[in-house]
Amino acid sequence: MKLWDGRFSKATDALVDDFNSSIFFDKRLYKQDIEGSIAHANMLGKQGIIKQDEAELIKKTLKEILADIEANKVEFDIAAEDIHMNVETILTSRIGDVGKKLHTGRSRNDQVALDIRMYIKEEIKTVDAMLLKLQEVLLNLAKKHTETIMPGYTHLQRAQPISLAHHLMAYFEMIKRDRDRLADTYRRTNILPLGSGAMAATTYPLDRYAVAKELGFDDVTLNSLDGVSDRDFCIELLSNFSILMMHLSRFSEEIIMWCSHEFGFVELDDAYSTGSSIMPQKKNPDVAELVRGKTGRIYGSLMALLTTMKALPLAYNKDMQEDKEPVFDAIDNVKMCIPVFAAMVNTMKVRKENMLKAAKGGFTNATDAADYLVKHGMPFRDAHEVIGKLVFYCIQNSKNLDDLTIEEFKKFSPVFEESVYKAISLEECVNKRNVIGGPSKTMMEEVIRKNEEYLKAV
C-alpha cells in the first residue's frame, strides 16, 4: 500500500513502479532525511501541532531507524518509491498511527529540497578539505623549486623562462578560486526550504526559523514556489565542479606531456602509473589521463541538469527527480579525482636538467634581449625588429642567442655591449622579473609566504 493511494482505484503497473522509483539512488540521503525529520518533529511538538510525547516517540524511533540503516539492518522497498516514503513507512510500521503524524505540515517536495541541500552542504565541506590538501602539495613543491628554471609557453611554443614554482603556483591560484566558488555556493545552499509544503506553504503554525537553527541553516526561503522548485544550487555545484575539473584537466594535460620522452620534465612514481599489456617498455600516465577524461563526465552532469530544468514551469515537477544522479555522480568522481591527483603530483620526480635544457632552447630569452636594447635607449619596436633578425640569424646558423659573439651581436646593433650576456642569462631573465606576480625567486618566496598565511586562515 502506497502512502498516497487514497485517490486511486487500481495499483500502479510494476513497470511504473520501477520507472517512478528513485530509492536506488536517493537512498544515500537517508541520514539527511532522518535528521530533517527529527528537526521537523521537534518543531511540531514545540508548536503544539502534535503532542509533545508523540514528537518524542517519533524522534526516538527515527534515531533507532538511523542506527539500523547504518548497521545494514534495513532493506528498502521499491514500492515506497523514495527514501522519504521508505523512512516514513518504516516509522509507521514501528509506532503505528503516531508515525503518520510526522508528515504534518510538509510535503515530499520541500522534504527532498531540504535533503539535497543538507547533503550538498556536507559534500562541499569534504571537497574543500581535499582541495586544501592539494594546495598544500602544490605549495610545498613550489617551495622546493623557486630556482628550477623551465620554459614558459604560449601557443605551446617556448616563450619565456620561468620557474617551476611559478608554474605550480598558477594552479594554486586556480584552486583558490575554485574554493571561493564552492564557499559562495555553500552560502546560497544554506537556506532552509522546509515549510514550503508542496508549493503553497501550509496552514499549520510552523516555526521555520527554529528548524533552520536546529539544522544549521543561515535563513529560510521566502517564497514557497521557489523553495520547492529551486535547483540553482545543484547547478552551481556542477558548474563549480566543471571549472575545477577543467583546471585539473589542464594540469593533467601538461603532466602527460611533461612525462613523455619528448619533454622529459618529470617522471611519475610507479605507484601512480600503469603499464601496457603488450609493450613491456611502457609507463603510462593513466591517473592524469583519467582525470582529464572524467572532466567530460562532469561537464555532462552539468549539461544534463541544465537541460532538465530549462523548461519546467513552477513549481515542482517529477522531472526534478533527475537532479540527484548527476549531482551524486559528479560528487563521487570529483572526490575520487582530487586525492589521487594530489598524490600523483606529490610523488612525481622533477627532472631539473631537462627543464633547464628546454628553457635554453627556443630563444626564451629573446624578449630580454629586446628589453636590453630598450634600456639602452632604443625604441621597443626597433628593438623588437633587431632581435627578430638576430633570432632568424641564429636559426640559420644553428645557434642560440647565448652562443653569439659580441661581434655578431654588434652586426645587428652597435648598442650591444658585453653586459648583454648577463642580461640574457636565464637566471637573470627570471629573477629580474621582480614584480608581484612575477617569477623571480624573491617574488615567489613572497607569494608562497602570503599563501601559507592564506592556508592557515582558511
Domain assignment present for 404: yes
Same domain, 173 and 195: yes
User: Which CATH number covers residue 403?
Assistant: 1.10.40.30
Q: How far apart are CA 5 and CA 141, in angstroms?
A: 62
Q: How far apart are CA 24 and CA 8, in angstroms?
A: 25
Domain assignment present for 280: yes
Same domain, 325 and 350: yes
What is the average pLDDT value for the chain, to the nearest integer? 95
pLDDT for res 25: 85
Three-class SS of residue 10?
Answer: coil
Same domain, 145 and 275: yes
pLDDT for res 80: 87
pLDDT for res 13: 62
Same domain, 93 and 201: no
Same domain, 314 and 334: yes
Contact 10, 177 (CB under 8 A): no
Domain assignment present for 215: no
Instruction: Out of 81, 104, 127, pick the residue that ends a domain.
Output: 104
Asked if residue 7 has pLDDT above 90, the reply is: no
- Tell me what the mean pLDDT of segment 35-41 comes to: 98
User: Which CATH number covers residue 45?
Assistant: 1.10.275.10
Q: What is the pLDDT of residues 387-433, one digit of tens each?
A: 999 999 999 999 999 999 999 999 999 999 999 999 999 999 999 99
Same domain, 377 and 421: yes
- 440 classed as catalytic: no
Domain assignment present for 200: yes
- Tell me what the mean pLDDT of segment 13-20 comes to: 62
Domain assignment present for 211: no
Q: What is the pLDDT of residues 157-196, one digit of tens each?
A: 999 999 999 999 999 999 999 999 999 999 999 999 999 9
Instruction: Count how many residues are written for the chain.
Output: 458
Same domain, 353 and 435: no
The set of residues, in sequence order, having a beta carbon less than 8 Å from that of 398 and lying 6+ positions away, is none
Q: 317-323 contacts: CB < 8 A, separation 24 or more?
A: 317/229, 318/20, 320/229, 320/231, 321/22, 323/116, 323/231, 323/234
Local confidence band at 81 (pLDDT 50, 70, 90 cut-offs): confident
Q: How many CB atoms lie within 10 A of CB 401?
A: 22
Asked if residue 215 has pLDDT above 70, the reply is: yes
- 155 classed as catalytic: yes
Whether omega before 315 lies within 30 degrees of 0, making that bond cis, reads yes
- Tell me what the mean pLDDT of segment 291-316 comes to: 97
Same domain, 239 and 258: yes
Domain assignment present for 216: no
Same domain, 79 and 178: no
Same domain, 327 and 430: no
Report DSSP letters for 386-418, one per residue.
Answer: HHHHHHHHHHHTT--GGG--HHHHHHH-TT--T
Domain assignment present for 213: no
Same domain, 352 and 367: no
Q: How far apart are CA 257 and CA 260, in angstroms?
A: 5
Instruction: Out of 304, 326, 357, pick the residue that ends a domain.
Output: 357
Instruction: Out of 44, 74, 104, pick the residue that ends a domain.
Output: 104
Same domain, 342 and 367: no
Local confidence band at 20 (pLDDT 50, 70, 90 cut-offs): low
- Tell me what the mean pLDDT of segment 315-337 comes to: 96
Q: Which of 9, 155, 261, 398 is labelled catalytic?
A: 155
pLDDT for res 22: 82
Per the structure, how many domains does the chain have? 3
Helix (H) or strand (E) holding 161: strand 157-163
Q: How far apart are CA 102 and CA 106, in angstroms?
A: 9
Q: How far apart are CA 176 and CA 151, in angstroms?
A: 24
Q: Which of 163, 239, 252, 276 is labelled catalytic?
A: 276
Q: Among 5, 93, 83, 95, which residue's Cα sits nearest to residue 37?
A: 83
- Domain interval for residue 23: 5-104
Q: How far apart are CA 247 and CA 249, in angstroms?
A: 5
- Tell me what the mean pLDDT of segment 213-229 comes to: 98
Domain assignment present for 214: no
Percent of the chain past pLDDT 70, that is, above it, reads: 96
